[in-house]
Amino acid sequence: MEKERQEILYWNKAASAYCVRQDDLKSIYQPVVEEQLGDVSGKRILDAGCGDGSYSKSLASRGAIVIGIDGSSEMISIAKRRSKNTKVKYRLADLTAKLPFSNDSFDVVLANMVLMDIPKIDLAISEFARLLSANGFLVLSIPHPCFFCSDWIKDEKSNHLHKEIADYLTPKVEELTFWGKRSIFTAPFFITSMC
């Protein structure tokens, strides 16, 4: 990458704290992602925005041939440390630029909880299409803005059950502590109708 975008510099700063915060949420997302992916044995998978490498590692343990990419060098370092003794390959790559792979390189592209964090997704989606084989597919997820700032409802053992949605039409502001002190995230979406 020629010049790191400001967002990547923030992710480098926040990587460790973010990964700790996300560890307890993976139990919610991972079963759904794995169900969507199905049998991955022998499939070539690009984990785009791999973060700490959790999905890459899991997919490799299920027989996939996995390359994880992330724009944050700190996230890639964490992923490599957490994935020792696996066959996962990690590379630094920015989803807002042309990706360093040839056409038809992958059977699956996984973009889990990442596209909402890049300024423009059109290039990333175009690149995913270029990289996918003829029968390949993309699995992606993003949070709906109404869920982002909502509180988790937990059971008696503190397991996350769901998020409570109230005051749906009011813009929200949330402080994200993993960015460091005084970091405020304003949900960039304005909801104009009920879903």
pLDDT in tens, 66-119: 999 999 999 999 999 998 888 999 999 999 999 999 999 999 999 998 888 787
User: What pLDDT, on the 0 to 100 scale, is given for residue 42?
Assistant: 97
Q: Which residue has the higher pLDDT, 173 or 113?
A: 113
- Mean pLDDT over 128-149 rounds to 84
Sequence-ordered alpha helix ranges (H) in the chain = 6-22, 26-37, 54-61, 73-82, 122-131, 145-148
Q: Does CATH number 3.40.50.1820 belong to domain 6-141?
A: no
**CA dist 103 → 21, 130, 182, 193 (Å):** 36, 5, 43, 40
pTM of the predicted model as reported, rounded to 2 decimal places: 0.75
User: What pLDDT, on the 0 to 100 scale, is given for residue 158?
Assistant: 86
